[in-house]
Structure 1
Amino acid sequence: MKPSADMLELIACAVLVLVSCVGNTCLFYTTRKCITGRVQASFLVIFSLASVNLIKTLVVNVIRIVYSSGITLDSAGCKVLQFTAALTTSLAIWFVLHLALLYHRKLYQIVHPSSEAASPDQQEHSLKLVSVLWLAGVTVYIPLVVYTSKAASSNTGNGTDTLSTNRVYVDCLIDFGNRQVEFYYGKIFLVLIDVLPLAVLVFVCFWMSLLLSERRKMTYGDIWIGDDDSEVETLRGAKFSILLMLLITPLWISHFILVYFLKDLATCVFTPAVLSVLSSGFSALSPFLLMLVNYKMKLVSFCGAKKQKPMPPPADVVVSPYA
């Protein structure tokens, strides 16, 4: 007996929910353990990224599981599905770009030191930017709530429903009602707000890879000096950002191509499961990439530089009051 498309999608979404919940919960826990004082800018972005991953997992994938199990979505369910899926996808791209820019700046300062002092309000600026990104994402995708509706059942009773292999993608329609709105907002604007940050992300990560290569060749008077804790944290964060780019970019491009040619793939039984994996694969795998990078480097997850306590003087040594 061949598995149905709904069963394959249900299994894929259930696995994604399990893996994502475990990974992002561990990411929250391990990152929180690193915080000993004021929250670093990178921590704020990681917390936001993990939150986006969990929202996608617990809303989008759970709705798909419910739909694949045979429970029909109403119009409100379709609105929540389309809005949350689009919002979390864009926010994930924006937060990865924000993280990459943070570590690119730090890495550039290591490779090309500057006499200018670092901004003391970096955490405050990062918090404001994260808040702006959340607000911008909600504002951009609010129209989807208005334009999304549930399609009327078509192919009932004929036993040859060729669209049954991807019902959740065709039953929840986005009907703009106006060709100009559909073209400029749906086909240009909503695509560009993902494509442009992805293009910048690829460029920034390519630049970081060049800086990392240059960093490995650096010497100080023909003598190589080992990295301190802050440099190790920066190098680790840069490598993690590059890995995130290599994960999120192919997933987004593959999902976009499949959705664009969805009508030609409607009869494929694997289409719903593949689309679910492509759209939610980043939220499930990204926290494990972070833990893998830190394991390879024998460091605790994204803990920044830690101040070492000075060694106490021996008991038999008298410390000078002028020391």
Structure 2
Amino acid sequence: MRFSADMLEMTACAILILVSFVGNTCLFYSTRRCATGRPQTSFLLIFSLILVHLTKNLVVNVMKIVYSSGILVDEVGCKVLHFTAALTTSLAIWFMLHFALFYHRKLYQMVHPSSEVVPQTQQKHSLVGISALWVAGVAVYIPILIYTRKPEYPNTGNDTDSLSMPRIYMDCLIHFGDKQVEFYYGKIFLVLVDILPLAILVLVCFWMSFLLSEKRKMTYGDIWIGQDDSETEVLRGAKFSVVLMLLITPLWVSHFILVYFLKDVAAWVCIPAILTALSSGFSALSPFLFMLINYKMKLVSLCGARQEKPPPQPADAILSPYA
């Protein structure tokens, strides 16, 4: 049974690594080739998500393959595995919330236009927010590096439990040593840093769905007019946020429930592979969903609408004073 469980987990990891690498590489290439001039917020958010997705698969899942193949991992490897897995999961949720809020603001301004001028520093504030999320993620999970331990004699005790329990949860343990630290940090704080942004993401995306329905019914003097590139970018970004919210929320909740009841379901051979699929499914599928939404499009929502240059004026042309 141990051989079958390990093989299932290794197969799941290998498939996810391949799918994620292909999808995120294609998304990176598509995004990069339309990058001109100063990088926009949507551009940097997409690149941050790509980096998080590739780190999740090329670090965490590769280490899982090594670990499941029977190669012993030292304490440093255990620390890196737990830290990277937790960090990339949280950053994916945080960046998706940032992405959704960014396009929610733009969509709201489109549906309910305001006469107020958008401050020029808003772009700078968004970029600072992206950097702050990276720093905050590392700071939140530094205790994981401190408290992760590798038991001196792994897999001791009941043979049945050692055969059925996923090895990552047997040989790489997070031992806080203090019950209060374990309760407040391990069971409350670490759950809240994921579930609160996820709950806000769900609410924002439902609000965006309502705004999208309002936009669909909008007319200008009983006449519907076409949308320009900037409006197309906002609409595609909003739809992308809603679709990915519908993907990341069930995956995170299902993974959380399985980990919470791990002792009750540990006898299932497929549990390690299922946990891997749930934790890395978002990083593998989201690039393809993004490219699918932007199919047959001029890459507008990848890096913002491009400013079209006005046609050159003839040398002998007389410009109107009202031009």
| TM superposition score category, shorter chain reference | over 0.9
Partner of 1:226: 226
Share of identical aligned residues, percent? 69
Gaps of 5+ in 1: none
The equivalent residue for 2:51 is: 51
Matches within 5 A, 1:26-175: 26-151=26-151, 152-155=153-156, 160=160, 162-175=162-175
The equivalent of 2:317 in structure 1 is 319
Offset of 1:154 from its aligned partner?
A: 3.4
Residues 9-58 of structure 1: CA deviation (Å, up to 9, x unaligned): 00100111111111111111111112111111111111111111111111
Contact 1:41/1:122, CA 8 A, preserved across alignment: no
> Do the aligned partners of residues 318 and 154 (structure 1) sit closer, same or farther apart at CA in structure 2, a change above 3 Å counting?
closer
Amino acid corresponding to residue 101 of structure 2 in structure 1: L
Over 3 Å counting, the alpha-carbon distance change for 1:165 and 1:6 in structure 2 is farther
In structure 2, how many angstroms separate the alpha carbons of the residues matched to 1:245 and 1:91? 14
- Equivalents in 2 of 1:267, 1:162: separation in Å? 10
Task: Look up the match of 2:263.
Answer: 263
**Equivalent residues, number:** 319
Give CA-to-partner distance per residue, 1:90-125, whole Å, 9 cap, x none: 000000000000000000000000011112123311
Residues 225, 321 of structure 1: alpha-carbon distance in 2 compared, 3 angstrom cutoff: closer
Which TM-score applies when normalising by structure 2? 0.93
Change (3 A) 1:2 1:161: closer
Cα distance in 2 between the residues matched to 1:179 and 1:62: 32
For 2:252, give the aligned amino acid: W
CA deviations over 1:239-267 (Å, ceiling 9, x no partner): 00111111111100000000001001111
Distance in 2, Cα, partners of 1:154 & 1:322 = 84
Residues 299 and 169 of structure 1: CA distance in aligned 2, closer, same or farther (over 3 Å): farther
Using the TM superposition, give the Cα deviation of residue 165 of structure 1 relative to its aligned residue in structure 2, in angstroms: 4.7
Q: Which amino acid aligns with 1:319?
A: A
Gaps of 5+ in 2: none
* Alignment deviations for residues 155-210 of structure 1 (CA, whole Å, 9 cap, x no partner): 48x86454445111222111111111111000000000000000000000000000
Question: In 2, distance between residues paired with 1:55 and 1:147?
Answer: 22
Q: Is the 8 A contact 2:5 2:272 kept in 1?
A: yes
4+ residue runs over 4 A deviation: 158-162
Deviations 1:261-296 (A, max 9, x none): 10011111100000000001111111111101001x
Going from structure 1 to structure 2, the CA distance change for 1:161 and 1:261 (only over 3 Å counts) comes to closer
Partner residue in 2 for 1:196: 196
8 Å contact kept, 1:87–1:138: yes
Q: Do residues 298 (structure 1) and 297 (structure 2) align?
A: yes
- Equivalent residue letter for 1:153: P
CA distance in 2, matches of 1:173, 1:165: 13
List aligned pairs for 1:246-257, cutoff 5 A. 246-257=246-257
- Measured against aligned partners, the alpha-carbon deviations of 1:139-158 in whole angstroms (never above 9, x if no partner) come to 110001111111332348x8
* Matched position secondary structure for 1:28: helix
Amino acid at match of 1:320: I
Partner residue, 2:278:
278
Deviation of 1:72 after TM superposition, in Å, equals 1.5
Report the CA distance between 1:83 and its aligned residue.
0.5
Cα RMSD between the aligned structures? Answer: 2.0
Does the 8 Å contact 2:233/2:304 carry over to 1?
yes
Distance 2:100 2:54 in 1: 21
> Per the alignment, do residues 204 and 159 of structure 1 end up closer, same or farther by CA in structure 2, a change over 3 Å counting?
closer
Name the structure 1 match of 2:15: 15
2-structure distance, mates of 1:322, 1:271: 73
Q: In the alignment, what sits opposite 1:180?
A: 180
Q: Are the equivalent residues in 1 in contact too, given 2:2–2:163 (CA < 8 A)?
A: no
| 1:52–1:92 Cα contact (<8 Å) kept | yes
Q: Aligned equivalents of 1:262 and 1:153: distance in 2? A: 18
Give the Cα–Cα distance (whole angstroms) in 2 for the partners of residues 63 and 31 of structure 1. 29
Secondary structure of 2:173's partner? strand
